Amino acid sequence: MNIAKKRRARAIVVALAAGSLALTGCSSGSKNTSEGSNTDADAAKQQAVIPLGDAAASQGPAVEVPGAKPGGTIRVYQRDNFDHLDPAQIYVSDEGLLATLYTRQLTTYKTDKNGKKVLVGDLATDSGTVSDGGKTWKFTLKDGIKFEDGKPITSADIRHSIERMYAKFITDGPTYVQQWLSGGGTEYRKALPDGPYKGKHLPDSTLETPDDKTVVFHFKDPQPDAPFALAMAAYGVVQKSKDTKEKYDAAPQATGPYKIESFKPGKSMKLVKNENWDAKTDPFRHQYVDGFDITFNHQASDSTKRLMADHGEAKTALSFTNAVDPLQTREVLQDADASKRVVKGYQPYVWQMNMNMDRIKDKKIRDAITYAMPNKQILGLNGGSYGGEVAGGLMAPTLAGYEKGYDPYGKLKKPNGDPEKAKKLLKEAGKTNMKIVYAYANTEANQKVSVVVEDALTKAGFDVQKKEVDSASWYAQMGKVKNGFDLYMTGWGQDWPSASTVIPPSYDGTQIADGASNYSHINDEHVNSEIKRISRITDIKESTKEWQKLHHYIVEKVNPAAPVYYTKQLQIYGSKIGGAEYSDTINYIDPTRLYVKK
Amino acid sequence: MLQFFLRRTLGAAVILILISAFTFFLFFSIPQDPALLACGKNCTPDSLKIIHENLGLDKPVPVQYLEFMRGIVMGRDFAVGPCPAPCFGYSFANNQPIFDTILDRFPTTVSLTVGGAAVFLTLGLGAGMLAAWKRGSLIDKSFSSASLVLSSMQIYFLGPVVLGALVYSTNLMDSPKYTAFTENPAAWFVGLLIPWMVMATIFTANYTRMSRSTLIEQLQEEHVRTAKAKGMSGKTVFFRYAWRGSLIPIVTIFGMDLGSLFGGAMITEQTFSLAGIGRLAVDSVIKTDLPMIMGVMLFTATMILFFNVIVDAAYAFIDPRVRLS
């Protein structure tokens, strides 16, 4: 996913201000570690392929949080409103995190007793049974799973939840499963243009519910990642009789441990216990606190100050997604008390400087730009070592297949760029003083970044033409095929911990179109054919190796984008909050583990 | 008086229509597609087309404007459901009814405004009167100097300083928070005390300076001199003649301030993380949420116009010459 929290409109602002957005995916963190990178053990844990859990692993209740006690209400300071609560419309990090509290899907992630991540059945008894060479996935629903009104969840509800995603009012959210079932692009909508609301349904040859407990997906092609896609919040279950279509977006029914008692958009939200949630059915979530009292409009500077002061209600408070304000990071970490109340970890995003391959066709020039890029200076303007770390490749540390130390352009050795090498390459290409149009968003941080980028490229022998672009429409403008720019920075992160959600959307030449996320317009025959081939490999370990090889090819042989930095998140919480731990899969503090200390 | 109100109400309606048309057409002149707001990662031209149809953005702008205005007067039907008059539509960002959202935010803004105004009006006028009464004294000089310094302050500077001093460093007070007055009057009062104090500090300075200068001006008027010559007590002359005459400019400015504050104290709300109309206005602009922009703009304009009418009516009560004319 690109860093399109709160729509593309604010992607850059958000990422630079808060350093952070994620929905799903694998990220690792460690508690109370010192400045700098996480340990090698953490990195190794992150790079491991997440295995599919069996029925035993999918049983509840979740592993107890040491010392956890029931009771109390947690205050939550959030910057932005939750624009979508309808699971089908959820595709951004903060809404995805909230959804872990009130909605459940067929599958989910859990950490076992050994601290290992496993993909397990959530509503389903296990992570699914595959057949037909990976095209068919069968799930069986657990006993005792209910909606907040006490009605049992059946396969008809799962069918309804999938089919409503075909309706026109669902305009946001992922489309993986719909496309795998009924065709790519927006073609899938033709299979059920009105969703399930006018009595039509997907044929059994596509989606089958032979009894109340069984759901069978018949995909057009092998889809080894189906259980991972179905773990996304967007595939949360919606009860047919309670589906109010557009209105459901503000008042969804809960299936998770908490339900929404009140929601005043842009102002506040109250979550209270869902009495019909049964811990015995849930391998991942807890229900320690009585509820969450959320208010919006808290900038990172405000939430950091409140939580650092740790006074009054702030003692039992945190922010689900606000990072520690970059300007207060040092103060927080130097404060003996506050520094004990932080968690940090990698986020799934890689910031990269895209080089428009329609305009910069010579690889030597692209290499020159990559060598010239002042990664460390750019990172310094985005939170420094707590906001991320210099990137050597285009796969994030959160991704299976990431290789620590992979650095074909020497960015780790020379993080502020190598202007001499860049100059030499540019000379070899016969393009000294080449004019290059560099676009950047008109945010304060990006304006500062533009200065160091311009300086570095000028030193390398480029004639830089800077173009400032409205941050609100940044991704829309960069997403145009004929955008008129040579260089522009974008961020991208996985939807689940597989390169299949990073490499195809970013580097598949067959997907170049207005609005698509192949921002550098790479269209390489080898890359395109490999994407097609690897996407069909059903063995995840095997496919991970192949994605890794393709990543090498893209970075070294094509070089469509200069890697800039990987993102990290640092969060602080009140002194009476217990169980705060950075989640490898939510990419923020895991809200389902929290309790209030007595 | 009835004729006066009718005339002013009609005038206000015309102004509101002009503002609405100007805002609506100006919105569509910016190079930003509001449909992008509802278009997530998979935003293809096909997806955008569907969203344009869903939001009614596929129709010509004048048609959209007429439908919007008709909704305010007669209500409209949306896919989400019927929207009774005054219908400003549903937010492009979160599908929530605009009017309900504004009503939900209004109590925060009202609390902020009423409490702040009570403080700054009392302190400002009190200090101004005292300074005018003791013109040239140490009190006058002290108040004048203090008001000069404080009026040059800004909320975005003073707010964080006060928060730092009273909340974050010393823990003397909790962070500002809005609680409904009907829910818990004590929490309402305590939660808004800091925003009131900060807002009042800046406004008080302005009102001190203004009331002092207008009072001094009035004290030099002929009718005041005549009253003094007639042997009336200094207190009577001051309050009955000079003070009353000085009220007109103060009421005028106060009416405009009140209208603006009721329309949303953007910086105050932002500084203290309060969700009022001002914050709503900022968010709607950032999100290019047209129905919300229109709703907030018209609401704010209505507030300003309403208080202008009240101020005009108040003149007649304050100054008999206005009533006679």
**Residues sharing a CB contact under 8 Å with residue A451, sequence separation 6 or more, in sequence order:** none
CATH code of the domain occupying B99-324: 1.10.3720.10
The interaxial angle of helices B61-74 and B290-318, nearest 10 deg, is 50
What per-residue confidence (pLDDT) applies to A139? 98
Q: Does A308 touch chain B (CB under 8 A)?
A: yes
Arithmetic mean of pLDDT, A6-25: 32
pLDDT of residue A315 exceeding 70, the answer is: yes
Arithmetic mean of pLDDT, A471-495: 86
Q: Residue for token digits 């993380």?
A: B273
Rounded CA separation A392/A403 (Å): 9
The interaxial angle of helices B185-219 and B98-133, nearest 10 deg, is 40
pLDDT of residue A349 exceeding 70, the answer is: yes
Pinpoint the alpha helices (H) of A20-72: 40-47
Which tokens go with A151?
């009605």
What per-residue confidence (pLDDT) applies to A80? 86
**Residues sharing a CB contact under 8 Å with residue A532, sequence separation 6 or more, in sequence order:** none
For residue B183, the 8-state DSSP code is T
pLDDT of residue A22 exceeding 50, the answer is: no
Cβ contacts of B175 on chain A, cutoff 8 Å = 302, 306, 312-314
Beta bridge partners of A354: A488, A561
What per-residue confidence (pLDDT) applies to A11? 32
Rounded CA separation A90/B40 (Å): 9
CB pairs under 8 A between A and B: 153
Q: How many CB atoms lie within 10 A of CB A406?
A: 18
Arithmetic mean of pLDDT, A353-369: 97
pLDDT of residue A34 exceeding 50, the answer is: no
Q: How many CB atoms lie within 10 A of CB B56?
A: 15
**Amino acid (1-letter code) at residue B94:** N
Q: Which residues of B, range 162-181, sit inside 8 Å of A by Cβ?
A: 163-164, 167-169, 171, 174-175, 177
A172/B38 CB distance under 8 A: yes
Question: Which ipTM did the prediction report?
Answer: 0.77
B275/A267 CB distance under 8 A: yes
Q: Does B275 touch chain A (CB under 8 A)?
A: yes
Arithmetic mean of pLDDT, A248-273: 95
Arithmetic mean of pLDDT, B298-318: 84
Percent of chain A at pLDDT > 70 equals 92
**Amino acid (1-letter code) at residue B258:** L
pLDDT of residue A4 exceeding 80, the answer is: no
Mutation site, B46, B77, B94, B169, interface A, largest A CB count within 10 A: B94
Which tokens go with B89?
């539509």
What per-residue confidence (pLDDT) applies to A44? 56
pLDDT of residue B143 exceeding 90, the answer is: no
Provide the strand spans (E) within B136-181.
none
Read off the pLDDT band of A6 (50, 70, 90). very low
Cβ contacts of B275 on chain A, cutoff 8 Å = 264, 266-268, 295-297
Task: Give one DSSP letter per residue of B258-313, joined into a string.
Answer: HHHHHT--HHHHHHTT--SHHHHHHHHHHTT-HHHHHHHHHHHHHHHHHHHHHHHH
B174/A312 CB distance under 8 A: yes
Q: Are A158 and A211 spatial neighbours (Cβ–Cβ below 8 Å)?
A: no
The interaxial angle of helices B185-219 and B138-151, nearest 10 deg, is 120
Q: What is the pLDDT of residues A57-106, one digit of tens each?
A: 999 999 999 999 999 999 999 988 898 999 999 988 889 999 999 999 99
Q: Residue for token digits 């302005």?
A: B206
A1/B167 CB distance under 8 A: no
Beta bridge partners of A389: A566
Q: Are A153 and A123 spatial neighbours (Cβ–Cβ below 8 Å)?
A: yes
Choose between A31 and A248: higher pLDDT: A248
Give how far the C-alpha of residue B166 lies from the chain's centroid of Cα atoms, to the nearest Å.
26
Measuring CA to CA, how many Å separate B75 from each of A269, A528, B94? 28, 52, 20
Read off the pLDDT band of A1 (50, 70, 90). low
Q: How many residues does chain B have?
A: 325
Mean pLDDT of chain B: 86
Q: Name the residue among A237, A222, A213 with its Cα closest to residue A126.
A: A213
pLDDT of residue A126 exceeding 90, the answer is: yes
Q: How many CB atoms lie within 10 A of CB A241?
A: 10
What per-residue confidence (pLDDT) applies to A461? 96
Class of domain A348-568: alpha beta
Among A91, A168, A309, beta carbon nearest to B40:
A91
Read off the pLDDT band of A309 (50, 70, 90). very high
**Residues sharing a CB contact under 8 Å with residue B268, sequence separation 6 or more, in sequence order:** B112, B116, B155, B159, B195, B198, B199, B274, B278
Among B31, B37, B45, beta carbon nearest to A7:
B37
Rounded CA separation A209/A156 (Å): 7
Q: Burial of A374 by CB count in 10 Å (0-12 exposed, 13-18 middle, 19+ buried)?
A: buried
Q: Does B228 touch chain A (CB under 8 A)?
A: no
Choose between A112 and A269: higher pLDDT: A269
Distance from CA of B34 to the nearest CA of A (A): 10
Q: What is the pLDDT of residues B119-138, one digit of tens each?
A: 999 999 999 989 988 888 89
First to last CA, chain A: 40
Percent of chain B at pLDDT > 70 equals 95
H/E element, B229: helix B222-229
What per-residue confidence (pLDDT) applies to B320? 66
The phi and psi torsions of A44 (rounded to 5 degrees) equal: -65, -40
pLDDT of residue A177 exceeding 70, the answer is: yes
What residues does each domain of chain B span?
2-83, 99-324
Arithmetic mean of pLDDT, B253-261: 84
Q: Does A7 touch chain B (CB under 8 A)?
A: yes
A10/B286 CB distance under 8 A: yes
What per-residue confidence (pLDDT) applies to A20? 31
Q: Which residues of A, range 507-566, sit inside 8 Å of B by Cβ?
A: 513-517
For residue A507, the 8-state DSSP code is H
Q: Are B39 and A7 spatial neighbours (Cβ–Cβ below 8 Å)?
A: yes
In terms of DSSP bridges, do strands A207-208 and A214-218 run parallel, antiparallel, or are they unpaired?
A: antiparallel
Mutation site, B29, B163, B273, B290, interface A, largest A CB count within 10 A: B273
For residue A384, the 8-state DSSP code is G
- From A6-15, B276-285, B302-311, the region with the lowest mean pLDDT: A6-15
What per-residue confidence (pLDDT) applies to A76? 97
H/E element, B57: none
pLDDT of residue A583 exceeding 50, the answer is: yes
What per-residue confidence (pLDDT) applies to B30? 72
Read off the pLDDT band of A8 (50, 70, 90). very low
In terms of DSSP bridges, do strands A342-355 and A317-318 run parallel, antiparallel, or are they unpaired?
A: unpaired
Arithmetic mean of pLDDT, A262-270: 92
pLDDT of residue B231 exceeding 90, the answer is: no
Arithmetic mean of pLDDT, A143-171: 95
Which range of A94-103, B33-42, B79-88 scores highest in mean pLDDT? It is A94-103
H/E element, A226: helix A226-229
Tell me if residue B44 falls in helix, strand or coil: coil
Arithmetic mean of pLDDT, A476-482: 83
pTM, rounded to two decimals? 0.83
Rounded CA separation B86/A425 (Å): 65
**Considering only alpha carbons, which residue of chain B is nearest residue A169?**
B54
- From A213-227, A440-454, B13-27, B143-157, the region with the lowest mean pLDDT: B143-157
pLDDT of residue A15 exceeding 80, the answer is: no
Rounded CA separation A159/A231 (Å): 16
Mean pLDDT of chain A: 89
Which range of A152-161, B78-87, B282-291 scores highest in mean pLDDT? It is A152-161
